[in-house]
Chains A and B, each alone.
Chain A
Amino acid sequence: MKTFSSLFNIHKKGKFGDFENKNEKNLLKIEELSNLLIFQLVKFKSSNFEVKKIKIDNLNLPDPLKSSSNSSTRILWMGPDNWLVISSDLNLLKQEEKKFDDKNFALTDISHSRTIIEIEGNLTDEVIKKGCPLDINDLKQGDCANSVYNGMSIVIDFISDDPKKVRIFSLRSFGESLHHSITDACLEYGYIGN
């Protein structure tokens, strides 16, 4: 069976919006990220397991509202004793699941249930501000936050400050609406769909 990314028929490549007479380096870049492993790690409330002992892909589980990352994997804090792991190493879950026993943890592969849109460019904050109530000026590289964008529940992962780059995650079923909202917000600045 052939699999399709959630924005396969939606996301278009090229230049859109008010891009004319603007330096290409200053335009926003929008990309759909696919073929990533995404799994949720939850420690049960009844468990006394010390999570500081745990490492996934040699990364510690991050503190509240933070992320930890290396070249292939990012771990995001989702809530108390709840983390989201995103990795380009598709075998990571199989390698790591032995560390997590059923009495203390639940591991759930949700790779196919999310849409990920990456936005890059100096005006990224302005695009987020248009639909999201977060105080975006306080958020920097290494932060992550759950919030809403035009009413859709999202997760924002702040990848880098220079160049400004964020990833926005939503449920796959909201992917098309989120993509429409994000690209619509980008039109006045001009953007490149990659």
Chain B
Amino acid sequence: MLNIKCPYCGDRAQKEFAYGGDGTVKRPELNKEVSNKEWDDFVYMRKSLRGKHIELWHHISGCRQWFRAQRDTATHEIFKTAKISEEI
């Protein structure tokens, strides 16, 4: 069983969590002109890295908080987790 350390609740089983996608994607600035390409990149285009990756996770059956996790996509090792307001 994979354990994930929630920044609020501590070590919990992966079945309490939901994967939230790439944690590095930034939304285009509000009230700024956005090209179709920029919007397309933001909505659809994702890298599929092998190795360390920063991801969003949601402790959906726990404290219901979003947080970031640094995970190796090949080994599933989780190196670090941090609150959304914190740098990882």
Report which A residues bind B (CB closer than 8 A). 64-65, 78-80, 82, 133-135, 145-148, 151, 153
Contact = CB atoms under 8 A, between A and B. Distances in A.
Interface of B: 1, 8-13, 15-16, 60-65
Given A79-B64, A80-B63, A148 B16 contact: yes
A79 B61 CA distance: 11
B61 A146 contact: yes
A133 B13 contact: yes
A147 B61 contact: yes
Contact of B16 (A78, A80, A147): A147
Contacts of A153: 60-61
A64 B12 CA distance: 15
A151 B15 CA distance: 8
A64 B9 contact: yes
A79 to B, nearest CB: 3
A121 B29 CA distance: 57
